[in-house]
């Protein structure tokens, strides 16, 4: 089905008439409008999670990276420290147990969690249903780690992979390049 034409002013330019959402995506560059239809966007499989990039540093001039993640029951991250960026989570569905700075936060649907750079943290979905989360990293750059370490998700309906030695090896190798320090499990 063809979408109606959309008029979008871009900066100080005259309004541009775009015929569909793909043309809107094609126009997305730093300082320009982006529309990402549901179910689209680069997606990657992490350990027990599906991460879909919503907007990257390339598109925001390096100011931020935003992703949508679905964390399967039992999925989550090992302890780690971001030395370059702050990380924020907005829980859309489900719940996550977040270990941060020696404290435990149980975040549920609607909750917001801010994790400043330099603080050891991890999260896990201890529930029985997938957790859906918006993740914001400021400044951008962390998306490079995910592209390098995680597997491209060609089938979004597949079961998320478990942690593997190959993924751990890639993460250990790539981490320092992105200011990411992986810690031993607590």
Q: Residue 120: give its domain's CATH number.
A: 2.60.120.10
Where on the phi/psi map is residue 126: left (φ > 0), alpha (ψ -120 to 50), or beta? Answer: alpha
- Quick check: is 110 in a domain? yes
- If residue 145 lies in a helix (H) or strand (E), which one and from where to where? helix 142-149
Residue with tokens 């775009």: 18
Q: How far apart are CA 74 and CA 67, in angstroms?
A: 20
Q: What is the pLDDT of residue 186?
A: 62
pTM across the whole model: 0.81
Mark whether 10 and 101 lie in a shared domain.
Answer: no
Mark whether 78 and 1 lie in a shared domain.
Answer: no
Mark whether 25 and 46 lie in a shared domain.
Answer: no
Mark whether 23 and 90 lie in a shared domain.
Answer: no
Q: How far apart are CA 52 and CA 98, in angstroms?
A: 21
Mark whether 45 and 73 lie in a shared domain.
Answer: yes
Nearest to 12 by CA among 28, 31, 36: 31
Query: Cβ(86)–Cβ(65) under 8 Å?
Result: no
Q: How far apart are CA 112 and CA 82, in angstroms?
A: 18
**What residue numbers bound the domain in which 1 lies?**
1-35
Would you give per-residue pLDDT tens digits along the chain (186 residues)?
444 433 344 443 333 444 544 444 444 456 688 899 988 889 999 988 999 999 999 999 999 999 999 999 999 998 999 999 999 999 999 999 999 988 999 999 999 999 999 999 999 999 999 999 999 999 999 999 999 999 999 888 877 777 788 888 999 999 999 999 999 876
- Quick check: is 88 in a domain? yes
Query: Cβ(133)–Cβ(109) under 8 Å?
Result: no
């Amino acid at each position: 089905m063809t979408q109606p034409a959309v008029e979008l002013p871009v900066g100080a330019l005259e309004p541009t008439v775009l015929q569909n959402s793909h043309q809107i995506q094609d126009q997305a560059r730093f300082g320009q409008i982006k529309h990402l239809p549901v179910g689209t966007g680069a997606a990657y499989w992490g350990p027990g999670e599906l991460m879909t990039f919503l907007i990257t540093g390339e598109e925001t001039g390096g100011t931020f990276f935003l992703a949508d993640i679905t964390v399967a029951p039992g999925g989550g991250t090992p302890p780690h420290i971001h030395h370059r960026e702050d990380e924020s989570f907005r829980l859309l569905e489900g719940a996550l147990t977040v270990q941060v700075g020696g404290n435990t936060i149980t975040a549920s649907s609607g909750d917001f969690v801010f994790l400043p750079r330099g603080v050891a943290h991890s999260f896990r979905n201890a529930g029985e249903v997938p957790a859906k989360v918006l993740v914001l990293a400021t400044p951008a750059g962390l998306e490079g780690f995910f592209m390098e370490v995680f597997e491209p998700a060609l089938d979004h309906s597949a079961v998320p992979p478990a942690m593997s030695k190959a993924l751990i090896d890639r993460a250990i190798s790539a981490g320092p390049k992105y200011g990411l320090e992986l810690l031993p499990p607590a």
